[in-house]
A = this chain, B = another copy of it.
């Protein structure tokens, strides 16, 4: 039985009892509308922790766009059924007032790695992520937290903030889960029309082709430019970014002398897709 908890105080009591028995708590922070990507995180948590909490909270502080917040899919009954099937112990689903009560005034900010990519296109987004994660780690007292590599920059931000603030938690990144056609799973995918859904996996295949070229010695800028043209021709909307960045520090990478990651964000209708792959 997955227990649904909505209050931080109730969660704290539950966790305190677990901790007195020496149990290791794992947490999977999510915004709900769960798909196999989230469930793979719950499975990883199940394997690497004694007790698993999945949090479902659509965090207003990390949305820079009111319409995106408004349209974000929500289906708690289905989320609960999926988590039951994975043997998750607690679904923690607090309301906005529970997370941000009257008088709330604290922000956690990470400089540097939050500035490019998502940070450049979603002002304030990573302050929202860093703040809510700090709160969720405080509320859950988890020893391990599981994040998908799909949100690669977010994963780096959470790793940096927990290291910087000496939080007693280990952040574990888990591989992106994809549909059979290569599209990275995302809660926002349900908002794609049929035609957009058919086109969407091209993002991943174009990125793979560009990565292969770069590994074969094609200059990075040329390979990325070819990919941008291909995406445009294929029918995608505005490209926010398609870049090669160092794994360590997310600095612009002009070659493969350091481990690198290719990251992209692109619009398809009114849905913004993001993806990233190793190069």
Q: Which residues in A have some Cβ–Cβ distance to B below 8 Å?
A: 8, 12, 20, 22, 103-113, 130-131, 134-135, 138-139, 141, 160-161, 164-168, 249
CA distance A166 to B139 in the complex (A): 6
Interface centre among A8, A106, A165 (most CB of B within 10 A): A106
Determine how close the nearest CB of chain B comes to the CB of A134; give it in whole angstroms: 5
Determine how close the nearest CB of chain B comes to the CB of A200; give it in whole angstroms: 34
Tell me which residues across on chain B come within 8 A of A110, comparing CB atoms. 105-106
Other than A105-B160, A105-B164, A135-B165, give 14 A-B pairs with Cβ distance below 8 A: A12-B168, A20-B22, A105-B112, A106-B108, A106-B109, A106-B111, A107-B108, A107-B109, A107-B111, A108-B109, A108-B165, A134-B165, A135-B164, A139-B166
Copies in the complex: 2
Partner of A106, one of B8, B22, B138, B160: B160
Q: 5 shortest A-B CB distances, which residue pairs?
A: A138-B166, A106-B164, A105-B111, A139-B166, A105-B112
CA distance A113 to B104 in the complex (A): 11
Residue of B nearest to A108 (CB): B108
